[in-house]
């Protein structure tokens, strides 16, 4: 086993960037140096360890083996400005943002699902959208086993997917409600407390009527599973939950699949925990998935409205497996495959 150590950078010191640092430490990633970058220089404490945060520059990233770009979903900038130039210097870029996911040069990877895509990397790899990752942890093994024709997805997405300001706004709305004060909304178009908002992202010209988040579910699923024939229709909804995305999935397969078949396949899948006992009120929930590495799958049952169809429910931590953990696993997989 190699004892090689790597120099690692984390670009972004917010919720995802901090979680990346925690995961690098907790998983004993072979890093002899971790540099943290942000817009401004400062000291940042992460789990009792103080990091001197550097301003993000190409020169500051010189000599890094891996650089994790931790931008919040939808936030653009850092990887556009620095990504390809840093890759040309020999640094492997693992980008959590949306800028290059559909770029044909860039593998889009969930390590448990399509690690072989890393073999053709050009020092630039994209992390999928958090909802795509949570869904595909279940859908990927089922696709391999039975072949997926169509997916109907309804998502229930926590406010942490919008960043720290949205978390603070939900907290403030709760405090204002208890105090009897007026409730204001700035992060979303509507109050999120005691509400659900059926819009995540803006409308897409190439997918009329669907938001950007819903379009990602279609295009990213096809790219990761390597099948442009899969049909996906999704409705993405923001809910008043701090951490953890949940998704209702109705799946039509090319080949017959029973609930028992699905439980067996998912029970054997890496990174998936099957929790499926309605009689005892045991099923996936965001509050159960928060801070877990695994995605939880349950409520597995027949969908009798279509032949060869099942319905199920999944939940996963959008900041952990939906972002930071998946990115670190990409680097671990590259090392294991001898790609770095």
Please give the domain boundaries of the chain with CATH numbers for all domains. 6-128+323-336 (3.40.50.720), 132-318 (3.30.360.10)
Q: Is the whole model's pTM more than 0.85, yes or no? A: yes
Residue with the larger pLDDT of the pair 160 and 77: 160
Please identify every residue annotated as catalytic.
130, 245
Read off the pLDDT band of 74 (50, 70, 90).
very low
Determine the angle formed by the axes of helices 212-225 and 130-146, rounding to 10 degrees.
40
How far apart are alpha carbons 145 and 255 in whole angstroms?
A: 9
User: Does residue 129 register a pLDDT over 80?
Assistant: yes
Mean pLDDT score across all residues of the chain: 96
Helix, strand, or coil (residue 209): coil
pLDDT for position 1: 47
Share of the chain above pLDDT 90, in %: 94
CA distance 23 to 3: 19
The 10s digit of each residue's pLDDT in 7-31 is 999 999 889 999 999 999 999 999 9
Lowest mean pLDDT among 41-50, 68-77, 108-117, 220-229: 68-77
For residues 236-256, average pLDDT: 98
Question: Higher model confidence: residue 276 or residue 73?
Answer: 276
pLDDT > 60? residue 72: no
Calculate the alpha carbon distances from 194 to 147, 170, 174, 190, 239 in Å. Answer: 39, 10, 9, 11, 8
Burial string for 77-95 (b: 16+ CB within 10 Å, else e) reads ebbeebbbebbeeebbbbb
Please check whether residue 236 is in contact with residue 157, taking contact to mean a CB–CB distance below 8 angstroms. Answer: yes
Residues 190-230: tens digit of each pLDDT: 999 999 999 999 998 889 999 999 999 999 999 999 999 99
Instruction: Tell me what pLDDT residue 73 has.
Output: 44
**For residue 308, pLDDT beyond 50:** yes
């Amino acid at each position: 086993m190699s004892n090689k150590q790597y120099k690692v950078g984390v670009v972004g010191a917010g919720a995802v960037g901090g979680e990346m640092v925690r995961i690098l430490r907790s998983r004993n990633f072979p890093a002899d140096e971790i540099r943290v970058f942000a817009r401004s220089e400062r000291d940042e404490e992460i789990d009792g360890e103080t990091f001197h945060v550097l301003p993000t520059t190409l020169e500051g990233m010189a000599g890094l083996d891996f650089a994790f770009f931790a931008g919040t979903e939808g936030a653009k900038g850092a990887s556009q400005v620095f990504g390809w130039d840093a890759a040309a210097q020999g640094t492997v870029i693992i980008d959590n943002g949306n800028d290059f996911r559909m770029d044909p040069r860039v593998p889009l990877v969930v390590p448990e699902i399509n690690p072989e895509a890393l073999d053709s990397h050009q020092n630039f790899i994209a992390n999928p959208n958090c909802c795509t990752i949570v869904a595909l942890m279940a859908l990927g093994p089922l696709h391999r086993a039975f072949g997926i024709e169509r997916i109907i997805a309804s998502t229930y997405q926590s406010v942490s997917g919008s960043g720290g300001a949205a978390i603070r706004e939900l907290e403030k709305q709760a405090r204002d409600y208890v105090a009897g004060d007026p409730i204001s909304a700035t992060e979303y178009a509507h109050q999120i407390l005691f509400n659900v908002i059926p819009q995540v992202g803006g409308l897409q010209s190439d997918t009329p009527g669907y938001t950007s988040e819903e379009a990602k579910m279609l295009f990213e699923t096809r790219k990761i599973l390597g099948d442009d024939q899969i049909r996906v229709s999704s409705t993405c909804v923001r809910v008043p939950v701090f951490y953890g995305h949940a998704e209702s999935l109705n799946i039509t397969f090319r080949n017959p699949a029973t609930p028992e078949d699905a439980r067996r396949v998912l029970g054997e899948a890496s990174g998936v925990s099957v929790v499926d006992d309605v009689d005892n009120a045991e099923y996936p929930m965001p509050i159960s998935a928060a801070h877990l590495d695994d995605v939880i799958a349950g409520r597995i049952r027949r969908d009798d409205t279509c032949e060869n169809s099942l319905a199920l429910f999944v939940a996963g931590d959008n900041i952990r497996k939906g972002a930071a953990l998946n990115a670190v696993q990409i680097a671990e997989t590259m090392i294991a495959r001898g790609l770095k």
